């Protein structure tokens, strides 16, 4: 019951949202729901620390197992290990921040918050489920809210982006389905066919079956985390979405994919071994090519979206390298990127709300007008270019270290190329920062330098995310312990 609460709380919040009206009520309710959830997650974390056998990150805690569909041996089976715990924490943080930044959404606010909460619910369910069926269930639960959020509250060519996102993700989950079906019928478990992660992991899947179904599952999940060349939904989707939705998308939803890929790789080690070359190739392409593509973007949101493609490449790289350290790095990168990109989108959203443009060329010197937002922007940027002391560095250096432990020469080359991205990132981040934050003032329109700086809610939102980033960047040891003992 401890863990089901993670799903039940948002569910109750969502249902309650349907019955209240007026922006004031709605947002207060949504926020309080999210905050309660955050507190609960933190408490859960503490409990987890206490209960978990020392140094054993693989230990599954808070297990619950109810038979759901008897004939198919489908269970409602949930539980968390260190990794899942980290992802849940990320979700809780981003959720609160996301609700805070969309404090004054004008149209259809009830539906807006309802969908946001639903999205977070999907993420929670996904991360805690130990049964592949429930995993898939929650994966798809999270798709539709994205479509509606982008399509209704978005900007620019929102319908197109929403449709593109929905269809690509749908394709992804279709592939995932095939993979799961294959696993279901081919895992020689004692309990006959089953979706149960733990049992499947125990009963090794025959190698040829792995080789057949791993690509389906991996690519399927990969699409969710911007696997090249299926990343095209990322730029359009993120940049059309409203601020909060972008934060949820990049901060949480893309992590579903990474987490899924990770689970699949752990579930089918032989296949992962066999295909790791391709994974590395795609990941490296995503990293480098994403970075270069970012340089040419003129819209802040596009810049961040493309950089997300590049950064999520690190997740796949870490998974593909298959060394313990690299995988640890992948998880770190997921958490770090979640916080960092959410912060970045929040900052961009705040700028956009005031200047009504996201074109780099039209902005300039905003540090003078809105120091707080500018600072947030700078911190996000520095985190994204991997500045030590912020979470990005911890994640990336771990990935590099782990990747280098893979002695194959080609993998080494891939690693070096990936390292090169720290320069490329610096280039595009500094170009954007130098133009938007520094330089002569521009883009403030008629208001000149009387544009308001961040409000309390925005300050709070940014504060939460920055705290996360700093804590992870300055004291990485505890999260390392959390995810890898």
Site residues for other proteins, 13-72, by CB under 8 A, read 67-72
Can residue 352 be called a binding residue for other proteins (CB under 8 A)? no
User: Which CB, 13 or 398, lies closer to other proteins?
Assistant: 398
Can residue 400 be called a binding residue for other proteins (CB under 8 A)? yes
Using the contact rule CB under 8 A, the part of the chain among 55-63, 130-138, 267-275, 343-351 near other proteins is: 130-138
Please give the Cα distance from 83 to 234 (Å, whole number): 24
User: Which CB, 39 or 452, lies closer to other proteins?
Assistant: 452
Q: Where are the alpha helices (DSSP H) in 298-389?
A: 300-321, 324-355, 366-369, 371-384
Can residue 324 be called a binding residue for other proteins (CB under 8 A)? yes
Count of residues in contact with other proteins, rule CB under 8 A: 91
Q: Which residues contact 153 (CB under 8 A, 6 or more apart)?
A: 105, 107, 108, 112, 241, 242, 245
For residues 189-228, which are near other proteins according to CB under 8 A? 212, 216, 228
Instruction: Judge whether 154 and 236 are in contact, CB under 8 Å.
Output: no
Can residue 175 be called a binding residue for other proteins (CB under 8 A)? yes
Instruction: Judge whether 63 and 78 are in contact, CB under 8 Å.
Output: yes
Can residue 389 be called a binding residue for other proteins (CB under 8 A)? yes
Can residue 281 be called a binding residue for other proteins (CB under 8 A)? no
Query: Token pair of 407, please?
Result: 């002695």
Can residue 275 be called a binding residue for other proteins (CB under 8 A)? no
* Binder of other proteins out of 52, 77, 146, 164 (CB under 8 A): 164
Can residue 8 be called a binding residue for other proteins (CB under 8 A)? no
Instruction: Judge whether 291 and 217 are in contact, CB under 8 Å.
Output: no
Using the contact rule CB under 8 A, the part of the chain among 19-27, 52-60, 175-183, 248-256 near other proteins is: 175-183
Count other C-beta atoms under 10 Å from residue 111's C-beta. Answer: 17
For helices 300-321 and 233-240, angle between their N-to-C axes, nearest 10 degrees: 140
Instruction: Judge whether 350 and 366 are in contact, CB under 8 Å.
Output: no
Can residue 419 be called a binding residue for other proteins (CB under 8 A)? yes
Angle at alpha carbon of residue 301, lines to 299 and 303, rounded to 5°? 70
Can residue 441 be called a binding residue for other proteins (CB under 8 A)? yes
- SS3 track for 186-219: HCCCCCCCCCEHHHHHHCCCCHHHHHHHHHHHHH
User: Which CB, 31 or 252, lies closer to other proteins?
Assistant: 252
Can residue 167 be called a binding residue for other proteins (CB under 8 A)? yes
Can residue 248 be called a binding residue for other proteins (CB under 8 A)? no
Checking DSSP bridges between strand 61-69 and strand 74-80, what pairing results, if any? antiparallel
User: Which CB, 44 or 142, lies closer to other proteins?
Assistant: 142
* Binder of other proteins out of 148, 244, 254, 330 (CB under 8 A): 148
* Binder of other proteins out of 113, 126, 275, 393 (CB under 8 A): 393
Can residue 343 be called a binding residue for other proteins (CB under 8 A)? no
Q: How far is the CB of 330 from other proteins (least distance, A)?
A: 13
Q: How far is the CB of 177 from other proteins (least distance, A)?
A: 5
Per-residue CA distances from 290 to 345, 399, 472 (Å): 18, 18, 25
């Amino acid at each position: 019951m401890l863990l089901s609460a993670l799903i039940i709380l948002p569910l109750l919040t969502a249902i309650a949202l349907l019955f209240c009206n007026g922006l004031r009520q709605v947002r207060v309710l949504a926020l309080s729901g999210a905050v309660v959830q955050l507190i609960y997650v933190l408490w859960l974390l503490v409990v987890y620390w206490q209960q978990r056998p020392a140094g054993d990150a693989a230990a599954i805690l808070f297990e619950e197992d109810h038979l759901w569909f008897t004939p198919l041996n489908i269970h409602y089976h949930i539980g968390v290990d260190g990794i899942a715990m980290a992802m849940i924490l990320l979700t809780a943080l981003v959720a609160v921040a996301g609700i805070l930044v969309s404090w004054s959404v004008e149209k259809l606010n009830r539906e807006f918050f309802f969908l946001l909460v639903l999205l977070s619910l999907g993420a929670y369910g996904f991360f805690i489920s130990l049964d592949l069926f429930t995993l898939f269930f929650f994966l798809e639960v999270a798709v539709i809210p994205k479509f509606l959020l982008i399509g209704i509250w978005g900007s620019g060519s929102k319908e197109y982006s929403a449709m593109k996102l929905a269809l690509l993700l749908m394709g992804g989950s279709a592939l995932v389905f095939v993979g799961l079906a294959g696993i279901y019928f081919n895992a020689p478990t004692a309990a006959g066919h089953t979706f149960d992660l733990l049992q499947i992991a125990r009963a090794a899947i025959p190698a040829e079956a792995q080789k057949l179904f791993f690509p389906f599952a991996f690519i399927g999940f990969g699409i969710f985390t911007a696997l090249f060349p299926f990343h095209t939904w990322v730029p359009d989707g993120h940049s059309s979405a409203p601020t909060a939705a972008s934060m949820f998308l990049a901060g949480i939803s893309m992590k579903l994919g990474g987490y899924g890929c990770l689970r699949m790789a752990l579930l089918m080690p032989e296949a992962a071994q066999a295909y790791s070359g391709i994974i590395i190739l795609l990941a490296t392409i995503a990293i480098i090519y994403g970075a270069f593509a970012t340089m040419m973007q003129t819209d802040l949101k596009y810049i961040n979206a493309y950089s997300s493609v590049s950064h999520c490449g690190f997740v796949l790289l870490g998974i593909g390298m298959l060394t313990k350290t690299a995988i640890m790095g992948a998880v770190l990168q997921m958490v770090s990127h979640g916080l960092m990109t959410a912060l970045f989108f929040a900052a961009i959203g705040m700028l956009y709300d005031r200047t009504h443009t996201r074109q780099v060329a039209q902005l300039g010197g905003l540090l003078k007008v809105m120091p707080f937002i500018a600072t947030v922007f700078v911190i996000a940027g520095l985190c994204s270019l991997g500045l030590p002391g912020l979470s990005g560095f911890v994640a990336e250096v771990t990935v590099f270290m782990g990747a280098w432990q893979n002695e194959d020469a080609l993998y080494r080359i891939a690693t070096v190329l990936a390292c090169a991205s720290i320069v490329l990132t610096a280039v595009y981040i500094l170009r954007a920062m130098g133009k938007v934050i520094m330089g002569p003032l521009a883009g403030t329109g008629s208001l000149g330098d009387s544009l308001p700086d961040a409000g309390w809610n925005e300050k709070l939102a940014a504060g939460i995310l920055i705290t996360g980033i700093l804590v992870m960047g300055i004291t990485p040891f505890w999260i390392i312990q959390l995810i890898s003992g």
